[in-house]
A and B are shown apart, each in its own frame.
Chain A
Amino acid sequence: MYEYDIVIIGGGPAGLAAAIEAKKNGVLNILILERDNELGGILKQCIHNGFGLDIFKEELTGPQYAERFINELKSMGIEYKLDTMVLNIDEKRKISYINKQDGFVNIKAVAIILAMGCRERPRGAISIPGTRPSGIFTAGTAQRFINIEGYQVGKKVVILGSGDIGMIMARRLVLEGAEVKAVVEIMPYSSGLTRNIVQCLHDYDIPLYLNHTVIEIKGRDRIEGAVVAEVDKNKKPISGTETYYECDTLLLSIGLIPENELSTKANVEIDPVTNGPVVNESMETSVEGIFSCGNVVHVHDLVDNVTRESYKAGRCAARYVKGELVCGGQVVKTKAGEGIRYIVPQVIRVENLDEHINLLMRVTDIYKNAKLVVKGNDIVLKEINKMQLTPGEMEEIVLDSKLLKENNIRELTVSVERQVE
């Protein structure tokens, strides 16, 4: 069985960045396994701009951002296989994959980096009642049809979910000649960027109905309409508020779930809140030698963060291959306190830290004029004032590693506290 130093599963932004950084850190024998017929992952179909403000100080479209990394990867001579699906991985880092040319192949890796991204929640995940006609698409699938295959999916559209994908698709559909009648959002706020509310909805006079959801789908062969109702604070429809929207298309933008089928095959521990692997400061999972980065760990809003996280994973996987990662020593567990939904990484082995540790997290609600409070063993280590916190925007706290080392911290909690006026 052929053995690579690092095998990376997924050639999207996460896998590309991890591969590049691993090679720059001295690992030569790297292989990326990608299931699509090109590298670039989901970025290939994200033809809108807004990518790269942080990493490149430029605003790029998804394909432009991907191309930067693809070109760098190719110039570095990193090996990759396309149209290749990984069927299995195990704790010993054996990988089974198939493609048309090679057939069924088993290979081994010193380290694996999981970068499989995520999938969309389908209608069944929220059991939208009604008939089961055609014309119901998840936003990403519609995006693929329109941007990659070149086909329009409908003429009169209702969109459920005001996350970024839903709003981006609202604009895309209008520009390709469809009518978007409404964007319906069950929460009292949109989970997407304000910029998208302005440039995708306001620009095209598309109404956004907060605290609303679709309660019934009608239509025998193709969808003919959607019944929308207001919801109460328990997210239950309020009787009497039903409105019928005649439409031939319903787009669902109701959440992304990290795609961890392979991870569970290797007995990687999954965090039930993120639905991604529990990772440590080196982006290593609970299984030694298996690393993870990008949307498969937790769903990101900005690809720039995916890139930085993946650089870290690549760097640390390289360290692991070279025998430089330390297993023992002081271990800190991170804990999501009041107002925090989750923190990545979940585990910190202090011996492996550089000068800083980056904590990524999401809040549970919208907060204005609040502060993020970092406590180690109940001692306040850091406080950061935030004028606005929202679940739709991932937050990052950079912590001086010395703070963890000096105080012999075992548990690190981050919570949201309102500011004292």
Chain B
Amino acid sequence: MDVYEKICIVCPRGCRLTIKKDEKSPRGYTVEGNTCKRGEDYGIKEVTNPTRVLTSTVVLKNSSLKRLPVVTKGDIPKEKMFEAMKVINKVVAYAPINGGDIIIENLLDTGVNLIAGRSILSQN
């Protein structure tokens, strides 16, 4: 059928979008229910290549704190979330750390780095 229902999250309006596959359409899909162009873009992206920012924590050593918050510096494909978590869960970070330090480079070959969400001084 190739019809999708999504709620747009670009602005607080929360338009209910209906996205239909349509080869005749210039972008391959038609979008209904949006009030602006950004909504149309969002709808199409959500059905063709939905991406998300992933936030999590990694094991932290050499600090009185036990976990380091981490975040992807950019969006990664939504379908890779759980695979990404498997990789993230194996990482151990060692203090001292600066906020923004790369913890995993090019996470799952997405071109996006996983970076430290904060600075941590070393235990000593």
On A, residues with C-beta under 8 Å from B are 37, 47-49, 59, 61-64, 66-67, 146-150, 175-176, 193-195, 197-199, 202-203, 387-388, 393
Chain A contacts of B66 at CB under 8 A? 148-150
Q: How many A-B residue pairs have CB under 8 A?
A: 70
In the assembled complex, the Cα of A64 lies from the Cα of B57 at a distance in Å of: 13
Given contacts A175-B81, A194-B7, contact A147 B67 (CB under 8 A): yes
Of B22-30, B48-56, B106-114, the one with at least 4 CB within 8 A of chain A: B48-56
B67 touches A150 (CB 8 A): yes
Is chain A's interface secondary structure helix, strand, loop, or mixed overall? helix
Within 8 A of A (CB), among B1-17: 6-7, 9, 12-14
A59 touches B14 (CB 8 A): no
A63 touches B118 (CB 8 A): yes
A61 touches B71 (CB 8 A): yes
Given contacts A61-B71, A203-B81, 19 further A-B contacts (CB under 8 A): A47-B56, A47-B57, A47-B69, A49-B53, A61-B55, A63-B99, A63-B117, A63-B118, A64-B71, A64-B118, A146-B57, A147-B57, A150-B67, A175-B82, A194-B12, A194-B14, A198-B6, A198-B9, A203-B52
Within 8 A of A (CB), among B40-64: 52-57, 59, 64
A49 touches B71 (CB 8 A): yes
In the assembled complex, the Cα of A193 lies from the Cα of B8 at a distance in Å of: 12
A83 CB → nearest B CB, Å: 12
Chain B, interface size category, equals 20 to 34
Chain B contacts of A66 at CB under 8 A? 118
Interface pairs (17), CB distance under 8 Å: A47-B55, A47-B117, A59-B53, A62-B69, A63-B69, A66-B118, A67-B119, A147-B67, A149-B67, A150-B66, A175-B54, A175-B85, A193-B12, A194-B7, A198-B7, A203-B81, A387-B13
Q: Nearest 10 CB-CB pairs, A to B?
A: A47-B69, A63-B118, A194-B14, A195-B9, A150-B66, A150-B67, A63-B117, A61-B117, A63-B69, A48-B55
In the assembled complex, the Cα of A63 lies from the Cα of B55 at a distance in Å of: 11
A59 CB → nearest B CB, Å: 7
B65 touches A (CB below 8 Å): yes
B14 touches A388 (CB 8 A): yes
A199 touches B9 (CB 8 A): yes
Within 8 A of A (CB), among B69-105: 69, 71, 78, 81-82, 85, 99
A394 CB → nearest B CB, Å: 12
Chain A contacts of B64 at CB under 8 A? 37
Chain A contacts of B71 at CB under 8 A? 47, 49, 61, 64
- B72, closest chain A residue (CB): A49
- B50, closest chain A residue (CB): A203
Given contacts A64-B117, A148-B65, contact A175 B56 (CB under 8 A): yes
In the assembled complex, the Cα of A414 lies from the Cα of B16 at a distance in Å of: 30
